[in-house]
Every structure is written in structure tokens, then in C-alpha cells.
Amino acid sequence: MKAVHFGAGNIGRGFIGSLLYKSGFSTTFVDVNQEIVDLLNEKQEYRVVLAELTTDEHVVQKVKAVHSQLHPEQVIEEIVQADLITTAVGPQILPLISDLLYQGLKQRAVSNSKPLAIISCENMIGGSAFLQEKVYEKLQVGEQEQFDRLFHFPNAAVDRIVPLQSNADKLMVMVEPFFEWIVEGGQAVDVIPHVEGLQLVHDLTPYIERKLFTVNTGHAIAAYLGYKAGIETINEAMQNEEILAIVEAALKESGNVLIEKYNFDENEHRAYIAKIIERFLNPYISDEVTRVGRSPLRKLGANDRLISPAKQYVELLQKEPEHLAKGIAAALHYNYAEDPEAVELQKEIQTNGVELALPKFTGLPKESALVELILKHYHV
Ligand SMILES: NC(=O)c1ccc[n+]([C@@H]2O[C@H](COP(=O)([O-])OP(=O)(O)OC[C@H]3O[C@@H](n4cnc5c(N)ncnc54)[C@H](O)[C@@H]3O)[C@@H](O)[C@H]2O)c1
Ligand SMILES: O=P(O)(O)OC[C@@H](O)[C@@H](O)[C@H](O)[C@H](O)CO
């Protein structure tokens, strides 16, 4: 079995590549990082180390890589032969890979009639559907029927904390032991090959919202509050009593939305939150707040981890999400100079004021109780 995976980064190598290897796949990574591409081709294997007391490790083999800008023709050839395509490049990169993916799928349709699943493993709602939309924008007259028949884009939720790596061995990835990969089977259920650890579900919505609005909501709030307090890592941020209390209270708020919306068992959800807090406190992981807080404009987006649960809290429970609002206010203060989105956010705030920047980036109505609440915490 052959897999093509776009993005040989932390989650690509440390999670998806590892499960694919365990499931018998040979994996071709597609990336634009020359050093990583060269190393993967030279070594044809890499180590994945679990961040825990015993630092258990395993070797991922049967891997190679292609630089997509230098050798697009090789990527197309790999797509023609693939049994599965996955991505972990970041939501903002999906439009950039869509043209090459389109070229590959178009070429594949000429000689290979085997249906294929393309699964985006990004932290976003509807990641594969978004990639499909970008690919379909390239379709020429008469191609859609064939693409609809042959290619499926099932949405997915992926969960494993993989921090930035600073190992002497540049291919090695240190990952937390926990992982979860959930894919919406739907019409693609028979097309998705067996991958060890991949769970198929009928409807992904509760799972992706539970993941994004718990793991990523809590993570982002810890990162922005931590950054504001001059703290460097998530683990240290979570050891700060004030930050811990706000993260826990914010997850109670997002949890109340999820429980109300999806009828989750309250005790099970509380246990899910407790497990996540424990993961953030993993002493064997050093995860920088600037990685977790990266791309604040994306994270402040209407459907993302901060605004969506806060909005839904107001709509469904008719109450004020006091702690989610504190997290959003901290995000608005995020001014890390090496993050282009943080620079853009601060520039907008300085030029037009936070009162206009907040609705602009979040889509929240300017005159709303939620905006007022966030601004109250912003100005504290
Ligand atoms: N790291 C985590 O803890 C984690 C967990 C779950 C989900 N995710 C999601 O996985 C995705 C990747 O995150 P990451 O932490 O692995 O980031 P990363 O930066 O480590 O990896 C991204 C990789 O994509 C490559 N890339 C960039 N442009 C490309 C292009 N045009 N074509 C091919 N490759 C390209 C980069 O060179 C890099 O190797 C994001 O959507 C993230 O939200 C991350
Ligand atoms: O990858 P992002 O930028 O969407 O979010 C940063 C982290 O919260 C994220 O990467 C988590 O580590 C991951 O989602 C855990 O499963």
C-alpha cells in the first residue's frame, strides 16, 4: 500500500507517518523544506520518541520525500499510484497544494480507476471539504462527474500534541503518547484503507467540535495568557494558578455548550477535560506558547476555537462566557513580533482601535454583548 502525505512536519512525521507505517504503508512525503526532503531520502527512516518517563521509541521506515516545487512531476506520479492521500500542512497552505493535487488527480483518472480518499489532518472544521473546494475550483468542463466518482474528501479530527523539535537528529520527532484520529466515513467508508488507530465515524461534527473546542480552546487560552504573563511554555503556564483557573473555567463553558448541543454525558466530558489538562501539564514536553498561539487571526476566526464556543455559549445558554472572553482578550494582546498574523493584528489595533479590529477579525457584530464583554477584559 502506498500513501502520499503532504507536509513532513511535526504532525506529518510524528503522527500520520507513524500510523501509516504501522499499518503497512510505504509513505512518500511531499514538502518544500529541502533539508527534511533530503534527509528523508538519505536515511529512508526516522525515529518517533514518546514524551514520557520511559521515552519509548520506534523507527518509521519505508519513507521517502519529494520537493513539490522542484519536482511536481514526481508528486503527480506518486498520486497516480497512491492508495491514500493525507495532508498536515496547516489550513493556510491547503489552497497552495490544491493545484498540484488537482494535476495529480487528473492524471490519475486517466489510468487508475480505483477510488481514492484524500484526508486533511488540519485543526479546522471541514478541512478536507475545504481542500476539495480548492481542487474543484480548478476543474474544467466535464471533469466534475469523474472527480465525484473517483475522489472522496472525508473530513477528519486529529489529536496529538507535537511540539516544535530541537533534536540533534533533525528527522526525529518527540510526541506525546496520546493520539486520536477520527474520520467521517460517509460515502468514502469503503474507499478509506485500514489504518491502525484511525477511527471511522458516521458524523464527525460532535468529534471535531469536542476536540477543537476543548483541546485547542484550552491550549490557545493557556498560550495567550501565558505569553501575556511572560511565560515561555504551556507546561509553565498551566502551573500558574490564575491561568489554570481561567483555562479550567473556559473549558467548563465550552463544555456546557458541547453537553447541551450533543447531549454528551456530563461526567465523561469532565473526565475528557481533566485528561486534557493533564496532557498540557506533561513534564516531558516543552511546548512553546508561541507555537500554540501561532496564527492568532486564524484562531480568532468566527468558526475557530475561541469565538465559536463563546458565540454558541451566548446563543444556546443565554449567559456570558466570562472566561472564554478573558482568553479572547488575551489573544488580542498577542504581539509576538515573529508571527506575521500577530503583527497584522497589532497593526490593525493601533491604526483603527481594538473596537473595530475585534469585529473585523472575528465577524462578531460590533454592537453586541459579547464584544462588550471581551473589550471589558481587554482593557483590564
Ligand atoms: N503539532 C501539533 O500538535 C498538531 C496536532 C494536531 C494537528 N495539527 C495540525 O497539523 C498541521 C501541521 O501542523 P504541524 O505542527 O505539523 O506544523 P509543521 O510546521 O511542523 O508542519 C507543516 C509542514 O508543511 C510543510 N509545508 C509548507 N508548505 C508546504 C507546501 N506548499 N507543500 C507541502 N508541504 C508544505 C512545511 O515545510 C512543514 O514541514 C496544522 O494544520 C496543525 O494545526 C498539529
Ligand atoms: O496547530 P494549531 O496552530 O491549530 O494549534 C496549536 C495547538 O493547539 C495544536 O497544534 C495542538 O497541539 C494539537 O491540536 C493537539 O492535537
So what's the pLDDT on residue 55? Answer: 76
Give which of 77, 74, 100 is closest to 87, Cα–Cα: 100
* Assessment of whether the complete model's pTM goes beyond 0.95: yes
Contact between 61 and 74 (Cβ < 8 Å)? no
So what's the pLDDT on residue 365? Answer: 98
Residue nearest to atom 9 of ligand 1 (CA): 122
Annotated binding site: 3-14
- Those residues with Cβ within 8 angstroms of residue 352's Cβ, 6 or more apart along the chain or in another chain: 360
Instruction: From the CA of 287, give the closest atom in ligand 1.
Output: 3
Handedness of CA 102, 107, 111, 112 (dihedral sign): negative
The residues that bridge with 264 in the sheet, in sequence order, are: none
Sorted by where each starts, the structural domains of the chain and their CATH numbers stand as 2-202 (3.40.50.720), 206-378 (1.10.1040.10)
Handedness of CA 199, 268, 121, 206 (dihedral sign): positive
The best mutation among 31, 161, 173 to test binding of ligand 1, ranked by most ligand atoms within 8 Å of the C-beta, falls on 31
Q: Cβ < 6 Å from ligand 2: which residues?
A: 123, 159-161, 215-216, 219, 292, 294-295
Q: 39 in ligand 1 pocket by Cβ < 6 Å? A: no
> Which three-class secondary structure string do you get for 9-23?
CHHHHHHHHHHHHHC
pLDDT tens, 317-327? 999 999 999 99
Residue nearest to atom 21 of ligand 1 (CA): 9
Q: Which residues of the chain have pLDDT under 50?
A: none
In the sheet with 116-120, reading across from the earlier edge strand, the strands are 63-67, 26-31, 2-6, 84-87, 116-120, 151-152
What is the ipTM, given to two decimal places? 0.99
Q: 32 in ligand 1 pocket by Cβ < 6 Å? A: yes
Measure 1 CA to ligand 1 centroid, in angstroms. Answer: 23
d(CA 344, CA 315): 30
So what's the pLDDT on residue 54? Answer: 87
Measure 174 CA to ligand 2 centroid, in angstroms. Answer: 15
